[in-house]
Structure formats: C-alpha cells, structure tokens
Amino acid sequence: MKKTRALVALLTAIFTLSACGQPEFTYVRDRDGTTYFKVPATFRQLDSAPIENYLSDAQPGSAAAALRAQRVWSTAFDQAAKPSVNHLLVSADPFVYATVHTLTEAERDAVSLNRLRNFILPVTDDVRMLYQQRSLTSGRPPLLRNFEPLGDELLELDGGAKGVRVRFNYQIGNDIQTFDQTALIDAKGEKVSVMLIRCQSSCFAKRKAEFDKIAESFKLLRLPG
C-alpha cells in the first residue's frame, strides 16, 4: 500500500513538472523589434508569405514584391487541427494575423484613422461601397457580405502613438465571421502595426475574453536611441 502511494506521488510529481515545462504563450516581436504581442502556445505559427501575396497587388517575384518584402513584416497563427493560411478569412477556429508596415513618404502623407480601419478589410462606408462596386464590375459576387459593426475604439498610446480597434462581422459563404482588428501608428508616423483576430461568430462570442487578452498584448515598443 505504501509503495502504491509512493508511486502515485512520484508520477504526480513527474506530470506536474512536465506541465510546468510547457510554455503557456508564444511571444512575438516583429523584425525590427518595435511591435510585441503574445498568443497562446496552442496556436501554430505559419509562413505568412501566401497571405502577403493575397493582400498585395504586387506579383510574386517582381521588383515591386521584393520592395514590399523589405518594408513589410508579418506572421500568422492558426488554432485549427490542420493549420492553414487559407483560414485567414474563413474557419470555425481562431486565426491571428499580424503585420508591420514601414510607410513610404506618400503613405505617410495619406495615413488616417480611417485608413487604419480599412487596412486589411473594408470597414468604413465609402470603402465598403467601393468594394461592392468593384465586385459588380468584375462580374463576381462579393466574398464579403452583410457587414455588421460591433465596436470602434480610439486608442491613445504613450509617446504620441495612436490607433483604433474595430470589431465587425462579415458573412462569408454560409457562415458569419467575427473580426477584431487593432491598428497602431507610431509617434513619428513611419510605421503601422496591425493585428487581426478572426473566428466564427459563435466561437468569438464564447471566447471573447481570451481574444481580448491577445489584442491587449499587442503593443508598440520604444527602442533606445
């Protein structure tokens, strides 16, 4: 009996140590170390290059694509059983995409809070209308339908940086997907950092507190010098 209890105690100690050895979060910084966030370690990190090709007008392998690669950093995380960059917009499981853009001179002159809102997907009335018009012109039905605004929060950060956090629904196919986007611009107006969290609407409602923690971890870092 004593030997059995001792064995149980030993096994419990071993499993406790094993659990303690597993990291709870994956901590992420961008290429220049200016943007920071964390995601639960259960998310799988992916190569985001296909997402950049999807979001950009630049042709892969072109000079424009090479120049964009110098100015844009990004990463992606998926919690699906079979992670895929194709889950950026549609999946029953959570997906996190983050990107940091070093702005050109022309982009710095044009940046605004509405530009931050529309950085990845159409959010404001005028940009959504333009998206609909382009879809009609192309002869293809729009992928994004039935927009529903859920929240719009202005962010004031230390040192003069600012941003906006927007939450909204889009119907894609037969499912409603909820998006939570935080977009920040540094005090010098030189870099835009964006995090997009997506999950099916029912998933998002159940796990909102968890997604809030991910979004709230998204910070700009002030480097020395």
Structural domains of the chain ordered from first start: 24-220 (3.40.1000.10)
Handedness of CA 184, 186, 189, 190 (dihedral sign): negative
- Note the pLDDT of residue 12: 43
User: What is the predicted pLDDT for the residue at 221?
Assistant: 86
Q: What pTM did the predictor assign?
A: 0.87
What pLDDT does 9 receive? 46
pLDDT at 47: 96
**Of 119, 127, 162, nearest in space to 147 by CA:** 127
List pLDDT tens digits, range 11-48.
Answer: 344 344 444 567 899 999 999 999 999 999 999 999 99
The pLDDT value recorded for residue 7 is: 41
Distance of CA 219 to the CA centre of its chain: 13
Q: How many Å apart are CA 37 and CA 192, to the nearest integer?
A: 15
Q: What is the predicted pLDDT for the residue at 8? A: 42
The pLDDT score that the predictor gives to residue 16 is 43
Q: What is the C-alpha to C-alpha distance for residues 185 and 187, in angstroms, rounded to an integer?
A: 7
**Exposed/middle/buried for residue 21 (C-beta within 10 Å: 0-12, 13-18, 19+):** exposed
List helix spans (H) across the chain. 2-20, 49-55, 63-71, 105-110, 113-117, 125-138, 201-206, 208-216
Q: Tell me, what's the pLDDT at 5?
A: 53
- Residue 65 has what pLDDT? 74
Residues of the chain scoring pLDDT < 50: 2-4, 6-19, 225
